[in-house]
Structure 1
């Protein structure tokens, strides 16, 4: 099953709605008074092992939630960050700039268990995950396909072989100069287990000469379910209020109610830099 999500659609919807609100009245200015919630800690902890690399350098980012109209995200300095594997090896992440924590000696092992430890602002957090493998991208093809507007658009299709002996979940992102934000696609192999899988990407702004960066990850089922909820919120009405905070796997061991946002995940990835013809 495939599902594509784009943060670009959210931005366009917001612009369209604001256009209607502002220009429907020449005299009144509409100010939206949005409530400011608790500034929770946000831990962006993706350990990503790109095929063909050592995977020794990894980055974890720690910040705090900001009000909707803020142009900057508050970075969290002075945190203590480490990851331990199941054999007791410790990988320390040192702060290289505000809110950015880097490890240069990480050792990735497929299917191994890892535990994250974060101490920040007097609170302690932990999370546990396995490093999930990914099947490599076999090839990328390009074609012109009809669009709903009547004009043909460029479509990219990449292919990979799904393993038959396990349930697999994938997260792919597409990045390019014509995209304001990355586009994400979630895939599970429920209907395609053990078969060749083809995944398609198109955008009306994609032109010859553009370079599209495709990053294809293997992810756990729990992270798949988490990302599905996150991306469904982004594709919904931007002015709607989600039914509740979407919690990841990061647990506050000091105060269970004061949980951090984000998800600790470890993914093997394959990537292709494709030049559009």
Structure 2
């Protein structure tokens, strides 16, 4: 297993505002005006099919929006799109718009290791992507203890365990959510050195206290999505003034105009989700 990596997904605009806030304290007389270039507006297709263990997986959601400049207070939603997913048997699952930019399906049929194809028509452009639904091993147990953080302060550490399947290569994306977090925190894991063994993943946060509820969503993902998400997380944790390398591309292809690509990644993940009450 590679070294576990934890990331916090922050809105780059908020990161920039935080820097400006620091600058204002550094000099009360000087006004810092930053001339930020605005890139070409792109469609963003957030298409995650998430099959939580213990559910039938029928209800799924796909969101479509547009990229926006740093200083925009909101993300433009895309209405009027046609969204559907097809499986290898030719079954079609239609996603209907329930609110601006939000498309829902209530009869989806998830099948592990089956291939699915996403088809989106939006603003006169057609997009498609193909991916396989990847399985996830269940969380066996959760433990917690008190450990010192990097500064020596005692914090609560929560550890969950799962058995990695033998004789296959597996990749995982885990997110943590709680009342002490503004944004989810993510970890990416693979079984390179622990194939077929029990794997433990640790999480701590200085503001996680007894009585808090920590929601853990542990996904099985494809190798391609793992690599894509790794790039996204590394870019989001970097200098907010930098442009992500190569405008990180997902697996969604514009079949109308290949140069007018959309951001996002069509992925299908089985997941074990647990809400853990911190003691």
TM-score of the two chains, using structure 2 as the length reference: 0.96
Structure-2 residue corresponding to 1:233: 235
Aligned residues: 277
Structure-2 residue corresponding to 1:82: 84
CA drift at 1:12 = 8.7
Runs of 4+ in 1 over 4 A off after TM superposition: 8-16
Structure-2 residue corresponding to 1:219: 221
CA drift at 1:13 = 6.1
Alignment of 1:197-276 (within 5 A): 197-276=199-278
Mapped contact 1:9–1:235 kept (Cα < 8 A) = no
User: How many Å separate the matches in 1 of 2:21 and 2:104?
Assistant: 42
Structure-1 residue corresponding to 2:57: 55
RMSD: 1.5
Mapped contact 1:131–1:266 kept (Cα < 8 A) = yes
Q: Secondary structure at the match of 2:74?
A: coil
User: How many Å separate the matches in 2 of 1:210 and 1:12?
Assistant: 25
Alignment of 1:171-190 (within 5 A): 171-190=173-192
Evaluate the alpha carbon distance shift between residue 173 and residue 240 of structure 1 in structure 2; reply closer, same or farther with a 3 A threshold.
same
Alignment of 1:28-67 (within 5 A): 28-67=30-69
CA drift at 1:165 = 1.8
TM-score of the two chains, using structure 1 as the length reference: 0.97
Structure-2 residue corresponding to 1:5: 7
User: How many Å separate the matches in 2 of 1:205 and 1:219?
Assistant: 29
Mapped contact 1:138–1:158 kept (Cα < 8 A) = yes
1:134 to 120, 133, 136: 136
User: How many Å separate the matches in 1 of 2:62 and 2:12?
Assistant: 26
User: How many Å separate the matches in 2 of 1:26 and 1:271?
Assistant: 48
